[in-house]
Structure 1
């Protein structure tokens, strides 16, 4: 895997384009890229100790409030895909921002870049709530807070 990512030290999830991912235009449907980003974010969170069970135990979750997806190139059936994520900003109170970069493995072409903003909510009510100390402890070391290279 190349080190030519937008940011240093990505969390990377590898997948393959399946037949059900391909649309009538014979390329990966745009919604699949969003799903890959979501799955990558969940796996990254779980690797930091914040899996869905932890979210429910704390009655807190990071919910998407805004997403900006820039589709750059297409992928096709059987392409191997790397989705990378970084936590690039958070205010240590309520919000966090993740960046994503999706690349095709065989030629390392960047297919998508995304920036997604999350807010901490109380699961039971859906209302915004301050980040619990457990989130600060788990996510804190993963925050980049740097500009792209």
Structure 2
């Protein structure tokens, strides 16, 4: 795979019949769900899950998302979702990138990026990140400069 950044967190999924739409390929909405699952899996691997968010009354919410659908995936294709945190400002904002390849031929299927903001779950208002978010997420940031490592 030609990952855009080094050391991706990789999450895999196999396209199943329920993911396929009338155009005979994985429906675009499935990629949104899969990116969410890959992002959560990465967060859990780093040490923060939804119960931590609930206990802290804080969470990272998507405020802007971009998806670049490059090639279609079909029933039976295994997809490799690479994801990275590429920015954590330590106050409110975080950026996550995704890149998706088809395992069989290493074809690039999708690129995506999320801009996230820390919110207070009980009110939905933007609030500063708790220290634990900074302690866990900041060291996980991978930047384009890291590519030369």
Which band: TM-score by shorter chain? over 0.9
What stretches of structure 1 move > 3 A for 4+ residues in a row?
A: none
For 2:68, what is the secondary structure of its paired residue?
strand
1:90–1:97 CA contact under 8 A, matched in 2: yes
- Where structure 2 has 5 or more consecutive residues not aligned to the other structure, the ranges are none
2:88–2:137 CA contact under 8 A, matched in 1: no
Normalized against structure 1, the TM-score is what?
A: 0.95
2:9–2:83 CA contact under 8 A, matched in 1: yes
1:140, CA displacement in angstroms? 1.4
Number of matched residues? 147
The equivalent of 1:88 in structure 2 is 86
The equivalent of 1:38 in structure 2 is 36
In angstroms, what is the RMSD of aligned CA positions?
A: 1.2
For 2:133, what is the secondary structure of its paired residue?
helix
Q: Distance in 2 between matches of 1:148 and 1:108?
A: 23
Q: Does 138-147 or 106-115 show the bigger shift?
A: 138-147
Normalized against structure 2, the TM-score is what?
A: 0.95
